[in-house]
Amino acid sequence: MTALKKMIPSRRMTFGVELPLDTDWSPAGLKQAEREGRPFGVPNMERHAEYARLVDRLGFKSMWLRDVPIFDPHRFGDAAQLFDPFAYLGYLAAITNEVILATGAIVLPLRHPYHVAKAAATIDQLSGGRFVMGIATGDRPVEFPLFGVEAERKGEIFRQSVRMIRHAWNRDQMLVDNELDLLPKPVQATIPLVMAGRGTQTLDWIVQHLDAWFNYPRGIAATEQQMAEWIKTHDDLGITERKPYISAYHLDLHEDPDHPAEPFKFGATIGRNELIRHLKRLEEIGVAHIAFHFRHSQRPIPEVLHELAEYVLPAFEHE
């Protein structure tokens, strides 16, 4: 069974978390960052290992981390989880047991595909086949010239990288002229590849060549429209088994279980009962997996994780 299938084992929606596990975008978090001299978007990582172990122990299906090579405080202001994704994944593989490790997403045009293939296969080996690799073309213009990449070619480079990475993982033939090979090979037959955003690609290409689609959070109506497009693309291509649609939700979980949603960009301040109703509507539309993002949270991360594990995860566990 692939890691993607373990993450989404049935037609019921499943849940993960998006790293970093910090509350640095909340009012209290902003004040703490100011006291510590951390720029906006740079999280506090002091308890990251403790929180990762807790996510694993509580039964969340996935942990997603981003690839942000260069911190751009003026135009983007988000350093993600600070650490290099592949080095960090190796550490997370060692301190967790069940949770699927996923990237959202590796910026393929900024990395040589053989380096990516080797690093990804290494993570798959170290984690016992628990790796899902989200991939993207990148959306930060400042990075491309720094890495010597022509930004206008990023879509083409992305497609070529996917071909080269898949080929490097192939067990049935060596990489070059039956003389050279790239090791290790993944534990899985092939590591699932998830498209993050559109990456200048057509939906036809994404459905034909990748294993799932990860999109920014949207409202119900906008998500329903995207799902209709996603389903139609499968139908037009004659693909009967629909590939998973994945999204995220920026969550400020209110202490009052019945607190109505107060929306903000990509999420809301919301009580757990209203959250469950919202998530069930997304499930009805066809969303397969949600990664919770906690940087807006006004409550401590462990407290929120425990409440989600006690009340929200069980609401989606049975057919």
Confidence of residue 319 (pLDDT cuts 50, 70, 90): low
Helix (H), strand (E) at residue 285:
helix 272-285
Is the pLDDT score of 181 beyond 80?
yes
Counting runs of H as helices and runs of E as strands, what totals does the chain give? 11, 10
Domain covering 3-316 assigned CATH 3.20.20.30 in the classification: yes
Average pLDDT over residues 219-244: 96
Note the pLDDT of residue 123: 98
Nearby residues of 250 by Cβ (< 8 Å), 6 or more positions away: 217, 264, 265, 266, 267, 268, 293, 295, 296
pLDDT digits (tens, 9 = 90+) for 2-26: 999 999 999 899 999 999 999 999 9
Tokens coding 35: 């006291």
Q: What is the dihedral of CA 127, 131, 136, 142, to 10 degrees?
A: -10
The per-residue pLDDT for range 32-79, each reduced to its tens digit, is 999 999 999 999 999 999 999 999 999 999 999 999 999 999 888 899
Max CA pair span of the chain: 64
What mean pLDDT comes out for the span 178-207? 96
The token duo for 149 is 């990449």
- Structural domain boundaries in the chain: 3-316
Q: How many CB atoms lie within 10 A of CB 44?
A: 17
Contact 190, 169 (CB under 8 A): yes
- pLDDT mean over 242-257: 98
pLDDT in tens, 115-157: 999 999 999 999 999 999 999 999 899 999 999 999 999 999 9
Q: How far apart are CA 183 and CA 206, in angstroms?
A: 27
pLDDT of residue 169: 97
Find the mean pLDDT for residues 235-261.
97
Query: Smallest Cα–Cα separation from 245: which of 67, 20, 13?
Result: 13
Q: What is the reported pLDDT for 117?
A: 98
Asked if residue 318 has pLDDT above 90, the reply is: no
pTM, entire model: 0.96
Q: pLDDT value at position 31?
A: 96
Lowest mean pLDDT among 177-181, 196-200, 248-252: 177-181
**Residue-level pLDDT at 1:** 87
| Residue 103 to residues 29, 150, 179, Cα–Cα distance (Å) | 25, 24, 32
User: What is the SS3 assignment for 12?
Assistant: coil
Mean pLDDT, the chain, as a whole number? Answer: 96
